[in-house]
Amino acid sequence: MEVRALAKDQPIAPQKVRLILDAIKGRPVDEALNLLQFMPQRSARIVWKVVKSAAANAENNFDVNPDGLRVKSASAGDARTLKRFRARSRGRTAPMVKRYSHIEVVVEGNQF
């Protein structure tokens, strides 16, 4: 049984999140949560919440044993971008893009 969790419009670039997601793909959920807990990156905290939510969805909504869950897939897609301008010398401006991401984690396991 596949169960997913989605976090939309997270204020971090998808490229930074994908580095963390690649580290947890295919791992058991408890091992992935432990790994994420000790990563220094800011996106690891956001991904930890999504993985925890996916495990809770599996346990509460589908009666899946939480011990047998593993991360089947994890992806980060582009969300909205905020375009801002930064002041530069001689009265000029330079564009600055603040990227947001949608994070999706799919876990799978066997039902009771």
Q: What's the mean per-residue pLDDT of the chain?
A: 95
3-state SS class at 100: strand
Return d(Cα 96, Cα 104) in angstroms, integer.
26
Total domains in the fold of the chain: 1
3-state SS class at 17: helix
At 82, which CATH number?
A: 3.90.470.10
Q: Write down the pLDDT at residue 112.
A: 59
Domain span at 97: 2-108
pLDDT at 83 over 70: yes
* Mean local confidence (pLDDT), 2-30: 97
Q: What is the pLDDT of residues 101-112, one digit of tens each?
A: 999 999 999 865
Cβ pair 53, 79 in contact under 8 A:
no
pLDDT at 89 over 90: yes
Q: Write down the pLDDT at residue 76.
A: 98
Give the number of residues written for the chain.
Answer: 112
